[in-house]
Structure formats: structure tokens, C-alpha cells
Amino acid sequence: MLRCSSLEVQGIFRTSPFLKFLIILFFFASGNELAAQYQELESIRQMATTGQHGQADAQLQQLLEQHPDFLPAQLLQAHNNAWAQKFELAQQQFRTILTIHPGNKEALIGLGYAYAWNGELSKAIYPFSTVLRSDPKNEEALTGLGVAYLKANNGAAALHHYKILTKTYPDKADHYLGLARSYAMLAQNYQARKALDKALKLDPGNAEARDLAGRISTEKAGVEIDLIGGFSNVDEEQRLGLRMAQLSFHYDERWTFYGRYDNSLSQDNIDFLRQKTRAASGWAGAFAVWSPKLATRLEYGLRSLPGRSLQNMLKVEQVIFLPRGYSLKVGGFTTLEKGNEWLTSTGVYIPVGKRFSLEPTWYYSRNATDGVGQHRFLLASKLRLPKGYEVSAGGFYGNHNFQAELLPGMNRKIIGAYLMGVLPVSERFWGLLVVNHERGVFNTSTVLAAGIKIRLEE
């Protein structure tokens, strides 16, 4: 608010007493009018920040009709439209202000948030960066960039800005929460928990921090090692040993890389069991999340079969994320040599509530050597419990297209069921349990397996 004592008007006290009185009265009147404008503006601001956007906009229109050049009201009008999710209108209003007042920090920051909240993340970066060029520690601009980069799944860039914020403004819980989100996005869960501890010390009742702490304890760690051993019983032929070993590297929210040793064929195939031979395979793969709507899994493998050269194998799966948590999965597997075998599959992930899901999947496989195709339908379900516990169960049914008369011991229908459990013992060690029973074309098999997941964090 302007004060008369702060005004410097050259020669004001050398005029006549009457004229001096009129001039002083004019400035007092101007000051009182401006004070009234600010008082009215503060009342409107309270409406806007409590969600009464329509009423606030109507009063702002009236105020600006009376005082069209009142910049604080122009800024509040643009902010109010952004808060009301009228992002394009807010952007237009902020840009209009900037044409008249270039470099206005509040307008630049408001424009950045209007872009960020509207999902225009690449456009949001420029106005925030413009403010930081002249004011490198501006709290609002640094926070805006942190929010924008988190929305863009760029954890490394977000981390840079939240580190500056927590160093410059160490008493703000929200900045430590943003730091924790950045670390979690980079799968650096140990550092994320340290940041969350600081956030909760500053604000013990922060619900977002507590929710994130719970989710971090169940999400993928930076490096995970899975070891599963078990007992197989296939038509009374039995074997005990290592079934699978996998090393996974969760780089960030977008990329996961892994290598896997799979020895299950040696333990579940009756011919290999009776010959006491091994038929293991090795795989290298990656899972890439390209966007909020698309992800791809790609695996290349080598399989060693007794008396044959190494088989080259390829698996691919495309995931299309749909609204309301649904997703469509289409994939396939093939060996790359002549006389190959191949499989194709299509499935739909269906969320049922927050903790339960169903996933029906259809498979069709064919082996070129015998020309017999096989259909199989799998219905899988998963229940996620607090603290990372999971229970998965499913059943499958199928048949093969063998046209001739069935040979002795053959089954026309293929049926089976499985049960899996994930049992967190601590932050670092989780238990794994698997039970599977299948009546196949020729054989009946039962598998009892147990293992451990070791979670290594940065």
C-alpha cells in the first residue's frame, strides 16, 4: 500500500497553503482508494484459495472493470482460472500480463504451473528457468521444475532441483517429500526413506509421506536377486534342485533389465528326468515403459537340449495401458531355428478393487515337428495385502488338435492349477512359495518350490 510520507513531490511545500492542502488531500484519497482495492482483493483471494472459483472470478471481473490496470487483480484472475483447471485461459492471461510486464516473476511462475498442471511439461520448463536465471534460489520456480520433472518421469532432473530446495529451505517438509519421490523414481529406496524420515520429523501427520513410505517398502528395489529351488514329481519320477535364478536391475521407472537361468524343463520333463539329463536355458531381457499408455518386454534366450546344438529363442510382449487401470497384453515366443516351435498369447488385466485383480489369458502353441497345435486358457488372480504380501492363484484348461485316435496314456484335455505367495520377511529379504499341479497330454506333474528374493538398494 502506498503511503504519503514515502512520496517525493518536488516543490510541494513551496505552494500556497490552500493548494498544498488540496494536493495532500488528493494523495490521501488516492492512498485510501488503493487500500480499499487491496482489501477487496484479499477477500477475493480467500474465496479463490478455498475453491469458490466462480464467485471469485465474478468479483475479479467487477474489480478489473473499475481498475483495468490493477496488476495484482490481473495476476489473481489468472491464478484463479488455473486453480479452476481452466488452464488454457489462465495461460493466455499470464502471457498477456507478460507482454506488458516482461520478466514479472509471479506471472512466469503462474504460467509454468498452468502448463505443468495441463500436462504440457516441455512448455512448463521455460518460464520456471527464466525466473531462475535472475533468481537462482527462487523457491516457487525450483518447486515448479521439480513437480514438472516428476510428472515427466525424469527422476534425475527432479532430484537436482529438490536437492537445492532442501539445502536452501531445510525447514519445508514438502521439499523432502519431493526429494523422496525423486529417489523412489530412480529406485534408490534407501535414500528415499532417509528423505521421508526428515519430512515426517518436520510434519509428523503428513499423509502423503506416510503413504509413500508404505509403497516404497513394496516396490522394486534397485537390484533384486531371485533364487528358487524345488521338488518335482512327474509320473513318479522325482527331482530336487535349483529351478530358477534371476538378477534384475531396476534402473528407473522406465527401464528394468534382467538375466535369468531357468532349469525347470530339466525337472518337469519326464524324458529328461528318466535320462537324468539337463535342459537348462539362459535369458537376457528388458522391460521398457515408453509412455503412460505403452510398455514392451523383450527377451532373448539360449536353450541347451541333450544331443542338439544350442537353441536360439525370442520372447516379446506388448502392454497397452487402458483407462481405469485396465491393460491389454499381446505376446509371443518362438525358437529361431528351422522346424521351430512357437506360441502366441493375448490377455487382459482387470483390476477389481484396490487390492485384487483378475487376468484371463488365451494361449495357442504349435510345434513344427509334429504339426499339432494346442489351445490353453488361463485365469489368474492376485491379492495384494499390506506390507508387500501377495497371494496369486489360477487355473488353466486346454486341448490339443491331435486328430487321430488317442495313444495309450494320452489325455485329450489339459488342466491344472497353481498357487504362489510372496512373504516379506524384512526390507531386504522376501520369501517365495510356489505350488503347481498339471495333468498334461501324457504326464501328470506336481511342483513344490520355495525361494528367496534379495533386495539391494542404493
Tens of pLDDT, residue by residue over 207-243, are 888 888 777 766 677 789 999 999 999 988 889 999 9
Give the CA distances from residue 310 to residues 276, 280, 284, 295, in Å, rounded to whole numbers and listed in that order: 19, 10, 15, 30
DSSP track, 361-425? EEEEEEETTTTEEEEEEEEEEEEE-GGG-EEEEEEEEEEE---SPPPTT--SEEEEEEEEEEEE-
pLDDT at 115 over 50: yes
pTM of the predicted model, to two decimals?
0.61
Reported as a single tens digit per residue, the pLDDT across 39-76 is: 777 877 888 788 888 888 888 788 778 888 888 888 88
- Domain 223-456: CATH class, spelled out: mainly beta
Q: What is the pLDDT of residues 88-104, one digit of tens each?
A: 998 898 899 889 888 89
242-274 residue pLDDT tens: 999 999 998 877 889 999 999 998 888 888 888
Cα–Cα distance, 386 to 394 (Å, whole number): 21
pLDDT value at position 403? Answer: 54
Task: Classify residue 61 by burial, with Cβ atoms within 10 Å: 0-12, 13-18, 19+.
Answer: exposed
Phi, psi dihedrals of residue 54, rounded to the nearest 5°: -65, -45
Instruction: Give domain limits for the chain.
Output: 155-216, 223-456
Angle, nearest 10°, between helix axes 121-134 and 105-117?
160
Q: Dihedral, CA atoms, 166, 172, 177, 180, nearest 10 degrees?
A: 20
Q: Which fold has domain 155-216?
A: 1.25.40
Task: Please state, in angstroms and rounded to a whole number, the distance separating the CA atoms of residues 32 and 40.
Answer: 12
Q: Where are the alpha helices (DSSP H) in 50-154?
A: 53-66, 71-83, 87-100, 105-117, 121-134, 139-151
pLDDT level of residue 191 (50, 70, 90 thresholds)? confident
CA separation for the pair 300, 3 (Å, rounded): 76
Identify the burial level of 69 via C-beta atoms within 10 angstroms of its C-beta, where 0-12 means exposed, 13-18 middle and 19 or more buried.
exposed
